[in-house]
Amino acid sequence: MNTKTVIVIGNGMVSHKFCEKLTTKSNNFKLIVFGEEPIRAYDRVHLTDYFGNKTLDDLFLSKNEWYNENNIDLHLHDPIVHIDIEKKRIHSKKDIQIDYDYLILATGSAAFVPPIPGVDKEGVFLYRTIEDLDQIKAYALTANKGTVIGGGLLGLEAAKALVDLGIKESAVVEFAPRLMPRQIDDMASSILQNKLQALGLTCFLQKSTTQILGKNKITGLAFADGSQLDSDILIISAGIKPRDELAKAAGLAIGPRGGIIVDENMRTSDPHTFAIGECALYNEMIYGLVAPGYEMAEVAATTISGEQKLFAGFDMSTKLKLMGVDVASFGDPFITEPHARTILLEDKNKGIYKRLNISPDGKRLLGGILVGEAASYNMLLQTVNNNMPLPEHPETLLLGEQSESKPAGAGLEALPDTALICSCEGITKAQICDAVTQQGCEHADDVKKCTKAGSGCGGCVPMVKDLVAYTMKKQGKYIRNTICEHFNFSRQELFDLIKIHDLRTYDSVLDNLGTGHGCEVCKPLVSSLLASLWNEMILGKGNDVAQDSNDRFLANIQRGGTYSVVPRVPGGEIQPEKLIVIGEVAKKYGLYTKITGGQRIDMFGAHLNDLPFIWEELIAAGFESGHAYGKALRTVKSCVGSTWCRFGLHDSVSFAIQIEERYRGIRSPHKLKSAVSGCIRECAEAQSKDFGIIATEKGWNLYVCGNGGSKPQHAHLLVSDIDSETCIRYLDRFLMFYIHTADPLTRTATWLNKMEGGVDYLRNVVVEDSLGMAETWEKEMQALVDAYQCEWKVAVNNPDIRKRFVHFVNAPSEKDETVKFEEMRGQKKAADWNAPITY
């Protein structure tokens, strides 16, 4: 059989995928690729990581030798300038002329640049290529204020890049009335906007830019409403337009708004020419995501190989993480009455918005939107795509985690084998399960190497991991949950290894036990382990950059970009002098005050700059950090007990104070709450806490693994009628057992629910010492107790740490002017999120 010549114009992700697919299908083709850029194909989906922890080598889609190994001629930095359809010949800029049998147009798209006066000024950039990013990186070194025009997917990625580059005053300007207008609705946009603003990104909506200010280089933007915005650097990401100019000049059919018209085989109006990716117009639609581009590549490769595969449109569901904020939409996110019924969950406190659109009969899921928490995205997407029936109460799907009473893997069990898990690579559930059962893949990374599932956008990786665990469990195999790609260990294994090697910093842990540069999964996890092991100041020894945002500033970030101040009040007991200090501090710094359910006084509305000064005054009055921001002991609630109550059996306040002062500041997999009640009337609600203590006539009853919140769970009685000393000894063991073995972000209730043998096994370990670990755990706990220091006391006395608490590096004393308040019942509150914000 004669070898046929296939020329591919374009060297992006879709072009590379076409080459991969065609070389695996047949050896009867000679592939020749022409690329406009001077470097080989790279991952544009994760382009923003180039500003973070990825190098260009990390982004390349293949090794340089891959092209030679697959008999592919690669011509870089040599765009095609002319196509002769009649002669089936191309002509490149470097004057190369080659005849072909088949031509693949993978020319992609170009950034749409609005006709704004001044777009040619110095400091104005696009956000499409590595070259663009290198230029932005260099220019950003002298910039203090940055702006992005465009609030869509790529625009918000570009805004994240500005923040990653250290430009503290970054803004997004969007013409539409909401962010990501093609993916999410107004309510979701409002939640997203406020979460981004809390992270330092200002959003201007319904803004039409009329001019880019500055003489030779940008100094700002002018808007149609007469307002202006100062800016030293501007990235334009206002949409894309298909690169169809070459095809148009060759006489191929083009859509009225651009795009090379193709049929279901990806053929253009010329039978020997195909178009794939963002340059192709199928059924009057341009597909701007990588997954449909990959599908088009496979369809074209299959057709050229003489096989049959048709393109029938593509699901445009998407999930991404913007500056740490989950955003997802799936199915039809905007369908409304009477074609659907909508279920909404809006939690402004946590910044979570979820919308499910279900069929009028309540039996099928049609689409939805998730902002702030999207762990259930993959299963919800599969429910839509596979027309799976909904549970009797579909609103439970909005709660995120599966009910504890639901059998593990029930959702995956119901998923058909043909369910498409990785849309980028076209990998089904059956193929992933087969990789586990037939090819020995026991980790998601193994499945990725074997099937390529998860190698594209990466959105399917959580479901791939679930399928691996589900399949292995069905085989009766032990499931080893590794942390992430940078650490091939479970949390418990890493905990033990850090202890054995006496590692004290994130960098030393990564150097000795991990690979790569780390990620947003392993950094806070390792930081938590270090804190749990050594109880050292979490912002010391360079560990500050690895912390979650709340730990990084030793305060919970709240609505409007402000912070809360929560001093510890052990047992809820407080002297009048200290009450006066709290009142004076709150009045001086203009803080909202509230007595909480945990018997503390919280102060809200603090500016970042004020935090060290507020804590300086509180510490001088004898207060210490309440650790409201940490995965640590929050409070030990108490009733007044025998000191005042006529029913009280023991002094619950004194014991609560003793307990709280013993375990304060000790980091654990999740936050801990406790309570001590002076009698069975249970005024302190001890049986809904992670550990609770109730007075009896003979001593104390110790309850463990209770849970309040949205999924309450009654605590279990661990042991009865014990004295105070024994109670503390058992608590030491219980807490260390939990710290050693629980998965990340797992409350004690969930930890027990997953424990083989349940509370009986836990009792044997803690009370009967069946593992022989009691003495070790008691010593470890005492070491943590002895190492305690108030983090805020260290912070205010350490100049290097104190430097962190500024909004603007170049103006340390200036506060964030975008923080707005309203009056409510004689106090202030953060301005309502839906209210217009003036500047």
Give the model confidence (pLDDT) of 250-261 as tens digits: 999 999 999 999
Which token pair is 749? 């209730």
Burial of 282 (0-12, 13-18, 19+ CB in 10 A): buried
Residues 6 or more apart whose CB falls under 8 angstroms from that of 774 comprise 733, 766
What is the mean pLDDT of the segment spanning 474-486? 77
Domains 124-238 and 402-479 share a fold: no
pLDDT at 809 over 60: no
Q: Please name which of 105, 114, 111 lies closest in space to residue 11, comparing C-alpha atoms.
A: 105
Q: What are phi and psi of 816, to 5 degrees?
A: -70, 110
Which of 394-408, 446-460, 732-746 is the least confident region? 394-408
The whole-number pLDDT of residue 835 equals: 42
Which of 276-285, 398-407, 704-713 is the least confident region? 398-407
pLDDT at 546 over 60: no
The whole-number pLDDT of residue 403 equals: 40
Q: Please name which of 163, 201, 228, 224 lies closest in space to residue 818, comparing C-alpha atoms.
A: 201
**Mean per-residue pLDDT over the chain, rounded:** 89
Q: Which CATH number fits domain 124-238: 3.40.1000.10, 1.10.1740.10, 3.90.550.10, 3.50.50.60?
A: 3.50.50.60
The whole-number pLDDT of residue 838 equals: 32
The whole-number pLDDT of residue 264 equals: 97
Q: Find residue 707's DSSP bridge partners.
A: 713
Up-side HSE of residue 104: CA atoms within 13 Å toward CB?
A: 36
Q: How far is CA 371 from CA 327, 463, 703, in A?
A: 5, 19, 36
Which of 207-221, 363-377, 388-402, 544-558 is the least confident region? 544-558
The whole-number pLDDT of residue 547 equals: 64
User: pLDDT band for position 108 (50/70/90)?
Assistant: very high
User: pLDDT band for position 789 (50/70/90)?
Assistant: very high
How far from the centroid of its chain's Cα atoms is residue 710's Cα? 22
Q: What are phi and psi of 115, to 5 degrees?
A: -75, 70
Q: Which CATH number fits domain 4-109+242-304: 3.50.50.60, 3.40.1620.10, 2.60.120.260, 3.20.20.70?
A: 3.50.50.60
Which of 598-607, 711-720, 740-749, 819-828 is the least confident region? 819-828
Q: Is 279 annotated as a binding residue?
A: no
H helix and E strand count, the chain:
26, 38
Crossing angle for the helix pair 444-451 and 429-437, to the nearest 10 degrees: 110
Up-side HSE of residue 573: CA atoms within 13 Å toward CB?
A: 19
Q: Is 19 annotated as a binding residue?
A: no
- Per DSSP (E only), the strands in 243-392 are 260-262, 273-275, 280-282, 285-286, 318-322, 325-331, 341-347, 352-358, 365-371
What is the mean pLDDT of the segment spanning 99-124? 95
What is the mean pLDDT of the segment spanning 312-327? 84
- Do 25 and 16 form a contact (C-beta atoms < 8 A)? no
What is the mean pLDDT of the segment spanning 587-597? 90
CA dist 168 and 146 (Å) reads: 8
The whole-number pLDDT of residue 775 equals: 95
The whole-number pLDDT of residue 401 equals: 46
How far from the centroid of its chain's Cα atoms is residue 804's Cα? 23
pLDDT at 408 over 50: no
Q: Is 790 annotated as a binding residue?
A: no
pLDDT at 729 over 70: yes
Percent pLDDT > 70 in the chain is 94
DSSP string, 627-667: -TTSSBEEEEEE--GGGT-TT--S-HHHHHHHHHHHHTT-B
The whole-number pLDDT of residue 268 equals: 98
Q: Is 433 annotated as a binding residue?
A: no
What is the mean pLDDT of the segment spanning 729-750? 94
CA dist 64 and 74 (Å) reads: 10
What is the mean pLDDT of the segment spanning 486-503? 90
The whole-number pLDDT of residue 406 equals: 42
User: pLDDT band for position 276 (50/70/90)?
Assistant: very high
CATH topology of domain 402-479: Arc Repressor Mutant, subunit A (1.10.10)
pLDDT at 582 over 70: yes
Which token pair is 444? 């998601």
Indicate the SS3 state at residue 436: helix
Residues 6 or more apart whose CB falls under 8 angstroms from that of 754 comprise 746
- Per-residue pLDDT tens digits for 666-714: 999 999 999 999 999 999 999 999 999 999 999 999 999 998 876 788 9
Side chain identity at residue 761, one-letter code: Y
- Do 703 and 718 form a contact (C-beta atoms < 8 A)? yes
Model pTM score: 0.62
pLDDT at 404 over 50: no
Side chain identity at residue 513, one-letter code: L
Whether domain 626-789 has CATH 3.50.50.60: the reply is no
Residues 6 or more apart whose CB falls under 8 angstroms from that of 791 comprise 537, 538, 539, 554, 625, 627, 665
- In angstroms, how far is the first alpha carbon of the chain from the final one? 71
Of the two residues 304 and 550, the one the predictor is more confident about is 304
The whole-number pLDDT of residue 549 equals: 62
Specify which of 314-328, 500-514, 708-722 reaches the highest per-range mean pLDDT: 500-514
User: pLDDT band for position 651 (50/70/90)?
Assistant: very high
Give the largest Cα separation in the chain, rounded.
102
Of the two residues 101 and 816, the one the predictor is more confident about is 101
Up-side HSE of residue 315: CA atoms within 13 Å toward CB?
A: 21
What is the mean pLDDT of the segment spanning 223-235? 96
Q: How far is CA 814 from CA 678, 775, 809, in A?
A: 49, 52, 9
Crossing angle for the helix pair 444-451 and 461-474, to the nearest 10 degrees: 110
The whole-number pLDDT of residue 598 equals: 86
Q: Please name which of 88, 43, 483 lies closest in space to residue 293, comparing C-alpha atoms.
A: 43
Alpha helices in 535-632 (DSSP H): 549-552, 576-588, 611-620
- Do 436 and 472 form a contact (C-beta atoms < 8 A)? yes
What is the domain partition of the chain in residue ranges? 4-109+242-304, 124-238, 402-479, 491-547, 626-789
The whole-number pLDDT of residue 528 equals: 87
Which of 205-214, 557-566, 795-804 is the least confident region? 557-566
